[in-house]
Chain A
Amino acid sequence: MTTVKPRVDVVIVGMGWTGAIMAKQLTDAGLAVVALERGADRDTQPDFAYPKVADELEGSVHRKFLQSLSQETVTIRHNPAEVAVPYRQMGSFKPGTGVGGAGTHWSGCHFRALPEDLKLRTTVEKRYGRRFIPEGMTIADFPVSYEELEPHFDHFEYVCGTSGKAGVINGVIQEGGNPFEGSRKRDYALPPNPNYLGAEKFYVGAHNMGWHPYPIPASNASRPYVNPYGCQMGPCNFCGFCSDYGCINYSKASPNICIIPVLRQRRAFELRANAHVQKINLDAAGKHATGVTYLDAQGREIEQPADLVLLCAFSLYNVHLMLLSGIGTAYDPKTGLGTVGRNYSYQNLNRVTLFFDKSVQANAFIGNGGAGTTMDDLNGNQLDAAKSGFVGGGIIWARQPGAGPVRGISVPRGTPNWGTKWKQAITDSFRHSFYFEVQGACMSYRQNYLSLDPTYKDGFGRPLLRMTFDWNENEIKASQFLVSKAQEMSRTLNPLAMVGDAKKDGSHYDVTQYQSTHTCGGAIMGADPTSSALNRYLQSWDVSNVFAIGANAFPQNNGYNPTGMVGALAYWSAKAIRENYLKNPGPLV
């Protein structure tokens, strides 16, 4: 027995960043919007209130702010010849759930993509020749330019109170910013946050290397701030419970504090939490979506008819819903045919930890998720791929989102894991060490893709999404190159000891170790409907009243965190819907 709700203009699946952005932009245009969020409703009060957020066992062990894997997860294998097994315990990546989604537990690093990274294939082919791209690497240009996205990057930064220092304004290089960035119309919404020790030392090390360090653009407010929607933020107090945690201070930008307060007051907007969308319903021809079917909190099946269906779930689950609903053709790596599932990519992350003596007050417990120092000297056009031997650059940064002992204390190599020597080592290290990280791009490949698992089911009886992914030689080389540079810089700071290695030759993707939640691709945007699932407005090529907004649209991942790009793409897509689609519903390309 399915209950059918009255038709609405727009139904949104998932209430994280992209869901909130689309709901805001489309209710602005006068549309009636219903948002369905699989998790609970949440807000700063009471869910992220002090002191209960300052609880490492709840936040980092019970993972209170993240998605439970018990009902929904993915299966993973390294290559198409293997049998995939479930991602049973959370490790490598951490999807969120609930209102705000991963936008509540992210860290706040808020980058724009580089202009050249948006036309990566063209850039590489022009500079190094077509044959430089290895066989099986399926990188592509984004079908949208930096110039087209610039106003949307800008707007999203101002919505988030992003704190940073511009490097290039209207073509003029600005002292202290990133001289290699795409030109922007104005500076960030707020000035950078203050530097903790590691971020300060990064400046020293980077100058020793002849690099151009700059503050990581952080959506962790450095000052009191009111965004363009009238939502207020308070300055970050470096509480140290940032990555994995909801913000106690209205400082870390989230859908919950930056956009949803406006939506909650709109009569044209309805938020239904604990509403788990099972599939997108299509008409008999499979060319038009009629709405979605979801389970409410009691498990009752509800149908929500809508003129427009916006997939705004976490990137992996957008792809999952498209595959389950038969939107587009599932990708087959053998033939290279099909579009949904192709070009899954990730992020190439490695850490180097530096240990100092007790005179050095690094205070790892002090933390701000997004803030820190980074550099672009080995990213984008600055990297000479002919010399480095791999495609796609990366950044090195100092970040300190805050650490406590339950989250783990790094110790010098050779330290036992328990007993008196371990106790001595953690006591010596805890306040006197910091780390630098390498965040490398991750290219897409013919064999890295998403599909439906033939065996394992989710808690609702649907096939789990299956991830086929492993490191390729290109990314292993990149890891070795970037980590060696990070180590070289670190040594100029004379630490007592250092730990942290690059990926070794032939090493495989390890799902047990946290690396990054930047899972990208699977339903990519492109210029060609035979090799992409979405057009340049993130509209399905196959079902024109379905849009899939998120990092699923990236043809490959660059060296930056994806949220700034994801937000800009959402505003870009919303603009196309408002200005073109509503006047003439149908394919925009």
Chain B
Amino acid sequence: MSIPEDDSSISPSRRRFFQSLSLIPVAAAVGSCDRAGNAPAAAAAEKSYDPRFFTPDEWTFVVAICDRLIPADEVGPGAVDLGVPEFLDRHMQTPYASGAIWYMQGPFLEAAPEFGYQGRLPLREILRVGIAEMDSHCRKAFEGKAFAQLAAAEQESLLEAAQAGSLQFEAISSKLFFAYLLGEVRNGYFADPAYGGNKGMGSWKMIGYPGARADYMDWVTVRDKPYPLPPVDLAGKRG
């Protein structure tokens, strides 16, 4: 994994994440956190994760793009803090990401956008092919630099272009890639912590979602005060 040591585009949460992963021993990583005592950071540091689906280069990309799409800020924790890269790596290994509930037979015809994605790639390959296309585009346009090595503002304008479909990729539509990637990043940010993201139920706490409580009979008609209970997850942990 190539992480530029003193590139200012690397956000604190991304730096923490990579430190916790492999660069230095876990105990030292916790000590070296630039926001020591921050709970999600500590959680990320405690449990390192070795990707099985993504290659090292893809992993670097995934961490960088998660950090751009849902950054850590004053509103709440970022995707990297909450383990969304781990979610993505694990989710890409499920039957769902291999197209288990999609109709995957040909012929594969072009059709108007109202008919949905008509290509032959399952979700995991949409992401894999899209990541390669984005990095290759970046290397051509930014003197050999991969997406993760670009400054935050450059990354953002690339994402805006992909979202609008104005980036010309060879193998896949940049708009399609962006839409599926964003959907997956959001899934990881908000799904139950059992799936690897949303560590400590951080996103649920941010928006005030009680998670898997699923029992509100006593609160249906309460109007004058906010719902008071913190979230619980599928494992029964309280946030």
Query: Taking beta carbons and an 8 Å cutoff, which residues of A are in contact with B?
Result: 50-57, 61-63, 68-70, 73, 76, 78, 83, 85-91, 194-197, 235-241, 248, 361, 363, 365-366, 404-406, 409, 417-420, 423-424, 426-427, 430-431, 455-457, 508-512
**CB-based nearest A residue for B212:** A54
CB-based contact A76/B117 at 8 Å: no
Report Cα–Cα, A57/B234, bound state, in Å: 12
CB-based contact A237/B187 at 8 Å: no
Which of B114, B213, B220, B221: most chain A CB closer than 10 A? B220
CB-based contact B96/A62 at 8 Å: yes
B75 near A: Cβ within 8 Å? yes
CB-based contact A239/B216 at 8 Å: yes
Per-residue interface assignment for chain B, residues 96 to 111, with 1 indicating a CB less than 8 Å from any chain A CB and 0 otherwise: 1001111111010101
B70 near A: Cβ within 8 Å? yes
CB-based contact B215/A88 at 8 Å: no
Q: Which residues of chain B are within 8 angstroms of A78 by Cβ–Cβ distance?
A: 114
Per-residue interface assignment for chain B, residues 188 to 209, with 1 indicating a CB less than 8 Å from any chain A CB and 0 otherwise: 0111100100000001101111
Closest beta carbon of chain A to B166's beta carbon, Å:
15
Report Cα–Cα, A419/B69, bound state, in Å: 5
Per-residue interface assignment for chain B, residues 103 to 129, with 1 indicating a CB less than 8 Å from any chain A CB and 0 otherwise: 111010101111111100000000000
Q: Which residues of chain A are within 8 angstroms of B107 by Cβ–Cβ distance?
A: 455
CB-based contact B221/A195 at 8 Å: yes
CB-based contact B104/A88 at 8 Å: yes
Closest beta carbon of chain A to B159's beta carbon, Å:
7
CB-based contact A423/B226 at 8 Å: no
Q: Which residues of chain A are within 8 angstroms of B112 by Cβ–Cβ distance?
A: 508
Q: Which residues of chain A are within 8 angstroms of B116 by Cβ–Cβ distance?
A: 87-89, 91, 511-512
B217 near A: Cβ within 8 Å? yes
A interface secondary structure, majority: loop
B68 near A: Cβ within 8 Å? yes
Q: Which residues of chain B are within 8 angstroms of A73 by Cβ–Cβ distance?
A: 103
Which of A197, A241, A426: most chain B CB closer than 10 A? A426
Cβ contact of A420, chosen from B71, B187, B189, B211, cutoff 8 A: B71
Given the contacts A405-B207, A508-B114, A69 and B103 also touching, CB distance less than 8 Å: yes
B223 near A: Cβ within 8 Å? yes
Given the contacts A69-B103, A361-B227, A430 and B209 also touching, CB distance less than 8 Å: yes
B171 near A: Cβ within 8 Å? no
B140 near A: Cβ within 8 Å? no
CB-based contact A239/B214 at 8 Å: yes
Closest beta carbon of chain A to B101's beta carbon, Å:
4
Closest beta carbon of chain A to B221's beta carbon, Å:
5
B21 near A: Cβ within 8 Å? no
Cβ contact of A70, chosen from B94, B104, B117, cutoff 8 A: B104
CB-based contact B206/A423 at 8 Å: yes
CB-based contact B210/A365 at 8 Å: yes
Query: 20 extra interchain contacts, Cβ-Cβ under 8 A, other than A238-B219, A405-B203, A419-B71?
Result: A50-B214, A54-B212, A56-B192, A69-B101, A70-B103, A85-B111, A88-B116, A237-B214, A238-B220, A361-B224, A405-B204, A419-B68, A419-B156, A420-B71, A427-B208, A431-B226, A431-B227, A456-B105, A509-B114, A510-B114
Cβ contact of B100, chosen from A70, A196, A366, A420, cutoff 8 A: A70
Q: Which residues of chain A are within 8 angstroms of B224 by Cβ–Cβ distance?
A: 361
Q: Which residues of chain A are within 8 angstroms of B214 by Cβ–Cβ distance?
A: 50-51, 53-54, 237, 239-241, 248
User: Can you show 26 pairs from A to B with CB atoms below 8 A apart?
Assistant: A55-B234, A56-B190, A57-B187, A61-B96, A63-B101, A70-B102, A85-B109, A85-B111, A86-B118, A89-B116, A90-B101, A195-B220, A236-B217, A237-B216, A239-B216, A361-B222, A363-B216, A363-B219, A405-B203, A405-B207, A419-B70, A419-B156, A423-B73, A427-B208, A455-B107, A511-B115
Closest beta carbon of chain B to A540's beta carbon, Å:
29
A-B CB proximity, top 4 nearest: A54-B212, A239-B214, A405-B190, A57-B191
**CB-based nearest A residue for B107:** A455
CB-based contact B227/A423 at 8 Å: no
Report Cα–Cα, A416/B109, bound state, in Å: 32
CB-based contact A365/B209 at 8 Å: yes
Q: Which residues of chain B are within 8 angstroms of A236 by Cβ–Cβ distance?
A: 217
CB-based contact A238/B217 at 8 Å: yes
Report Cα–Cα, A398/B215, bound state, in Å: 21
Report Cα–Cα, A427/B226, bound state, in Å: 14
B76 near A: Cβ within 8 Å? yes
Q: Which residues of chain A are within 8 angstroms of B215 by Cβ–Cβ distance?
A: 237-239
B150 near A: Cβ within 8 Å? no
Closest beta carbon of chain B to A141's beta carbon, Å:
33
Cβ contact of B227, chosen from A53, A63, A248, A363, cutoff 8 A: A363
B182 near A: Cβ within 8 Å? yes
B186 near A: Cβ within 8 Å? yes
CB-based contact B217/A237 at 8 Å: yes
Closest beta carbon of chain B to A435's beta carbon, Å:
17
B163 near A: Cβ within 8 Å? yes
CB-based contact B117/A89 at 8 Å: yes
B37 near A: Cβ within 8 Å? no
CB-based contact B234/A406 at 8 Å: no
Q: Which residues of chain B are within 8 angstroms of A508 by Cβ–Cβ distance?
A: 112, 114
Report Cα–Cα, A240/B213, bound state, in Å: 9
Report Cα–Cα, A365/B190, bound state, in Å: 13
Q: Which residues of chain B are within 8 angstroms of A404 by Cβ–Cβ distance?
A: 190, 209
CB-based contact A423/B186 at 8 Å: no
Report Cα–Cα, A251/B33, bound state, in Å: 49
Q: Which residues of chain B are within 8 angstroms of A424 by Cβ–Cβ distance?
A: 75
